[in-house]
Structure 1
Amino acid sequence: MPTTAKKNDLLEYKGHPLMRKENIIYYGSMSDSHIIMMQILDAGEVKGLPVAKRVSVQLQQTNPNVRMKERIVKKTEKDSLWAAMDIASIWLGRALNSK
């Protein structure tokens, strides 16, 4: 018998939630000390499918009392979503384990 999905099920990558809004992907939970924000800056097509070609990655603090510019801990730009997710998982893991 198939199981039904819960309404609050989120897509996860390496144990952290992934949420997308238009060209921005958030990786991590706002209840944690840090999250990753990835913005797709440029996209193209490969065999008729859309593919990210340039992605901005930012490790950000989630503290609402810190100004937005000061929330950014690290940032970089990658040439694919795969490379962006790779560095994002490393940065988020290190930030959350350094408590």
Structure 2
Amino acid sequence: MPTTKKNNLLEYKGHPLMRKENIIYYGSMSDSHIIMMQILESSDYKGLPVAKRVSVQLQQTDPNVRMKERIVKKTEKNSMWAAMDIASIWLGRALHTK
């Protein structure tokens, strides 16, 4: 379940979550990798938008690497829950391999 820190940043499993429009960034830019999730399609459920298709990318944060080469892994999931599940696994593995 998401939690908040003292500085009011949303966190999930110890890593920050930040949203800008339909893109959600999971992780810290000061780490070697982050996750970028883009909501590609959504539907309404009882008047609230619910993600139906989400693109998930594990990316390097090194500014010296070209944008296309930053993408380490990518997939598409059919719910935000499934996207967050794979995102936390990928990010955890990427940050603990060094």
> Which interval holds the TM-score relative to the shorter structure?
over 0.9
In structure 2, what residue type is equivalent to 1:89?
Answer: S
Paired position in structure 2 for 1:29: 28
SS of 2:81 mapped into structure 1: helix
Residue aligning to 1:16: 15
RMSD: 1.1
Number of equivalent positions: 94
Task: Tell me the distance in 2 between the aligned counterparts of 1:29 and 1:98.
Answer: 16
Q: Counterpart in 1 of 2:77? A: 78
Residue type of the alignment partner of 1:35: I
Q: Distance in 2 between matches of 1:9 and 1:22?
A: 19
One-letter code aligned to 1:93: G
Partner of 1:68: 67
What residue is the counterpart of 1:49 in the other structure? 48
Distance (whole Å) between structure 2 residues aligned to residue 65 and residue 9 of structure 1: 31
Could you state the TM-score of these two structures normalised by the residue count of structure 2?
Answer: 0.93
Report the TM-score, using the length of structure 1 for normalisation.
Answer: 0.92
Unaligned runs of 5+ in 2: none
Which amino acid in structure 2 is aligned with residue 67 of structure 1? Answer: R
Listed as ranges, the gaps of 5+ residues in structure 1 are: none
Hey, what's the Cα distance between the residues in 2 that align with 1:9 and 1:30? 18
Separation (CA, whole Å) in 1 of partners of 2:26 and 2:64: 21
Which residue pairs with 1:94 in the alignment? 93
Segments ≥4 residues shifted beyond 6 Å: none
Please say which structure displays the higher CA radius of gyration.
Answer: 1
Offset of residue 9 of structure 1: 2.5
Identity of aligned residues (%): 87
Q: Note the C-alpha offset of 1:47.
A: 1.7
- Structure 2: distance between partners of 1:23 and 1:41: 8
